[in-house]
Amino acid sequence: MGSIKKFQVTFDCAEPERVARFWCEVLGYVAPPPPKGFDTWDDFHSSRSPEDRGAWFACSDPEGDGPRLYFQRVPEGKVVKNRVHLDVRVGTGLVGEERLATLEAECTRLMALGAVRVKLLTADEENESCILMQDIEGNEFCLD
């Protein structure tokens, strides 16, 4: 068997820094400091050509365990279902009402950040309940 590889998850979006900062709040990730030679990200963006300003942003797990998230601006909007779907694990090990209460509390927190609740998928014989949501640009993800 080969070695485990580190990986990055890339999001295509319209406003990379805005979407990245949303996901920082969702996951407890952190944004990197501005590039060397710049005091702020605004200073960095101002130094770029107009078409390159805000073209990308990234964030990462402060503990270094989770994958880096990279956000890149693309000209086209989201047309249909996104092809990468994150399950945000907030109810691991919980079942029934305790799980639902935890999912609902996190859903409420994320809606205050601009997320949209799509629907509650209730438990069946195989799966526990989860909440289908959308981020601030309409990408679907689940609270699981």
Q: What is the per-residue pLDDT for 106?
A: 97
Extract the runs of DSSP E, i.e. beta strands, from the chain: 8-13, 56-59, 68-73, 86-88, 116-121, 130-134, 140-143
Residue 82 confidence (pLDDT) above 80: no
C-beta of residue 116 within 8 angstroms of C-beta of residue 90: no
- Residue 58 structure tokens: 């990234």
- Residue-wise pLDDT tens digits, 88-138: 999 999 999 999 999 999 999 999 999 999 999 998 888 899 999 999 999
The rounded mean pLDDT for the chain is: 91
Q: Is the dihedral of CA 3, 4, 5, 6 positive or negative?
A: negative
| Predicted TM-score of the model (pTM) | 0.87
Residue 8 confidence (pLDDT) above 70: yes
Residue 77 confidence (pLDDT) above 90: no
1 — pLDDT class (breaks 50, 70, 90): low
Give the three-state DSSP class for 132.
Answer: strand
50 — pLDDT class (breaks 50, 70, 90): confident
Q: Comparing C-alpha atoms, which of 58, 77, 67 is closest to residue 20?
A: 58
Task: Write the burial class of residue 124 (CB in 10 Å: 0-12 exposed, 13-18 middle, 19+ buried).
Answer: exposed
